[in-house]
């Protein structure tokens, strides 16, 4: 009899305990581990986001000889694969004969790593304005420069992609896994995105001798890449005749003031001597 009473008491107590519980009890926040919302609130987080955007530039599988020499110089006949025979460094020989495919590591890996860099750029461009609201005026000015650095990096990544692969998917914000399948944009659309990023970067980046750390993007770097972009873009006159005059922008970019623009009015804002 006592055993039955004990069981009933235990069952009643357990029922009261379960009734008093809520879903919040089962959803306690993790301790000792920062969440995305709690992490991106200070300058340390801002710097971490920007450094992540730089990081893909030192990945050997992306920025190596097969990518720059193979898909760049050798495939375009500016260089030869060389060697004693057609079996020497077969990757480069394939570029020389234009028999390479998208399944080869030297073609596939740079695509993935460079898009990873673009992801980090998009992530930083999403988080930096949020962090800017939580820091003081001096740090806000630094964040503006960091945003310019990331815009330069995204422009550089897209320039490398477009030069090697032509039109590529245009991604300007962090994507969910379900959004990974995207159609290619045209070369013209990508170059216009590159121009936009670089012109914005030029507005805020310091000159090289004003950098707070060696290796960061400078105003001069952004201008140089923009000039190269104009040069490449003006070479597509057969398909995009409105871009042919941009070679003048490339030639005069380093000598301000200069006037660049298309008749369609895409560049309306004068930036450092250039119209946008």
Between residues 200 and 98, which one has the greater pLDDT?
200
Write the CB contacts of 8 (distance below 8 Å, at least 6 apart in sequence). none
Of 22-31, 155-164, 225-234, highest mean pLDDT: 155-164
Between residues 134 and 242, which one has the greater pLDDT?
134
* Cα R_g (the chain), whole angstroms: 26
Consecutive H or E run containing 25: helix 23-26
Q: Is residue 43 a contact partner of residue 139, using CB atoms and an 8 Å limit? A: yes
Helix (H, G, I), strand (E, B) or coil at 143: helix
Overall residue count recorded for the chain in this entry: 276
pLDDT on residue 257: 38
Domain membership of residue 13 (yes or no) is: no
Domain membership of residue 261 (yes or no) is: yes
Domain membership of residue 216 (yes or no) is: yes
The span from the CA of 227 to the CA of 196, in Å, is: 13
The span from the CA of 156 to the CA of 223, in Å, is: 12
SS (H, E, C) 75-139: CCCCCCCCCCCCCCCHHHHHHHHCCCCCCCHHHHHHHHHHHHHHHHHHHHHHHHHHHHCCCCHHH
Q: Which domain holds residue 125?
A: 40-275
Helix (H, G, I), strand (E, B) or coil at 270: strand
pLDDT on residue 99: 75
pLDDT on residue 206: 93
Least confident of 16-20, 38-42, 102-106: 16-20
What is the domain-level CATH number for residue 44?
A: 1.25.40.390
Residue 236: CB atoms within 10 Å: 16
Domain membership of residue 16 (yes or no) is: no
Taking the C-alpha atoms of 176, 168, 252 and 151 in order, what is their torsion angle to the nearest 10 degrees?
10
The span from the CA of 168 to the CA of 186, in Å, is: 7
Domain membership of residue 14 (yes or no) is: no
Domain count, the chain: 1
Mean pLDDT of 136-162: 95
Residue 227's nearest CA partner among 266, 183, 273, 263 is: 273
The span from the CA of 105 to the CA of 223, in Å, is: 32
Domain membership of residue 217 (yes or no) is: yes
Residue 210: CB atoms within 10 Å: 10
Q: Is the peptide bond before 212 cis (omega within 30 degrees of 0)?
A: no
Among residues of the chain, what percentage have pLDDT more than 90? 37
Q: Residue 251 pLDDT > 90, yes or no? A: no
Q: Residue 194 pLDDT > 50, yes or no? A: yes
DSSP assigned state of 240: -
């Amino acid at each position: 009899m006592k055993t039955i009473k004990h069981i009933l008491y235990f069952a009643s107590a357990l029922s009261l305990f379960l009734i008093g519980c809520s879903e919040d009890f089962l959803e306690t926040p993790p301790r000792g581990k920062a969440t995305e919302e709690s992490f991106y609130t200070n300058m340390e987080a801002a710097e971490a986001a920007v450094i992540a955007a730089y990081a893909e530039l030192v990945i050997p599988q992306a920025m190596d000889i097969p990518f720059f020499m193979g898909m760049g110089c050798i495939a375009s006949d500016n260089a030869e694969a060389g060697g004693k025979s057609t079996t020497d460094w077969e990757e480069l020989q394939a570029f020389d004969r234009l028999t390479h495919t998208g399944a080869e590591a030297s073609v596939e890996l740079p695509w993935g790593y460079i898009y990873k860099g673009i992801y980090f750029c998009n992530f930083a461009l999403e988080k930096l304005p949020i962090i800017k609201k939580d820091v003081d005026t001096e740090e806000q000015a630094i964040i503006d420069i960091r945003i310019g650095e990331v815009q330069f990096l995204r422009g550089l990544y897209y320039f490398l992609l477009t030069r090697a692969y032509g039109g590529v998917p245009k991604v300007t914000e962090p994507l969910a896994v379900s959004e990974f399948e995207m159609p290619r944009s045209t070369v013209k659309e990508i170059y216009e995105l590159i121009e936009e990023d670089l012109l914005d970067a030029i507005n805020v980046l310091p000159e090289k001798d004003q950098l707070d750390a060696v290796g960061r993007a400078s105003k001069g770097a952004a201008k140089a890449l923009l000039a190269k972009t104009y040069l490449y873009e003006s070479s597509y006159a057969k398909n995009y005749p409105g871009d042919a005059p941009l070679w003048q922008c490339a030639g005069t970019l380093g000598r301000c003031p200069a006037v660049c623009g298309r008749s369609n009015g895409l560049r309306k804002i004068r930036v450092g001597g250039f119209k946008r």
